[in-house]
Amino acid sequence: MQIQFFDRQGGLISCRRLSNVACRKVISSIVSAKNKPILSLQHLLSGGRALVVGTLHEHSGLRMAHKITRAATRGIDILEMRLDCLESVRSLPSELALPVIATARHPAEGGAGNLSLSRRRELLRDALRWASAIDIELRSASALAPVVAEAHQHGRTVILSHHDFATTPTVATLRRLALRASAAGADLFKVAAMLHDPRDLQRLIEFQMTSAKIPVVAMGMGPAGRFSRLVLCGFGAPLCYGWLGKPQVPGQWPALKLRGLLDELLPV
């Protein structure tokens, strides 16, 4: 049995070649420590199945996160916290024991509050204390390069993303964006695009199946968004995003329903 954690200074903690009982004892001692370790997103991504991400972007979802029990999180693998929507929040309930992706979205890509670059930089750097990963728009990768470097230094996963609320880029454009993300230090590239007709979904499927230097996550938005997200997981997308509390963009599933749908459509 092998389980990996990162401590708050970015050091890797592993349970290697231990019995299940011994490993559980090690984990118990780590979790009860004052500085609780950060769960490794990379370890989850290596599991080979689509992971469900529950997005927190408003206070009803945050209240749900505070009330949710460990049993009720069964089916949600990761939480995403939209810091641009919840600026005052600095952490999540420790009893959830789920890895967290922190993002402070650029206003041009759906970010709330018209936050300045310096404010988003501040929020993301602060999140490195407790988040397993950060998500930064590719358009901000250069300006936030020091945050990307600091995230890698502390063992955090870096997601660089692109959101197009008007159309679906060509496959060639998507491939160029993925290459730029890889060169900018991404561990994973995420793209969300608006779907208008079946050809748009076909482009996302072709891109998702493209052999790239880094893993990619493609997803659709709009009336066909729900269908597209399940289909794209079938073609290799490692993450599937859903909402907690209230829907955020058209095309998202409720996060608590996604695991059952994915397991029924894509049995391991």
Q: Which residues are catalytic?
A: 163, 190
Amino acid in the structure at residue 84: D
d(CA 131, CA 142): 21
Q: 173: which residues sit within 8 A by CB, 6+ positions away?
A: none
CA-CA-CA-CA torsion sign (120, 125, 131, 135):
positive
Q: How far is CA 98 from CA 103, 116, 150, in A?
A: 16, 29, 22
Least Cα distance to 23 among 45, 4, 48 occurs for: 4
Q: Is 95 exposed, middle or buried (0-12, 13-18, 19+ CB in 10 A)?
A: exposed
Q: Is residue 9 within 8 Å of 33, Cβ to Cβ?
A: no
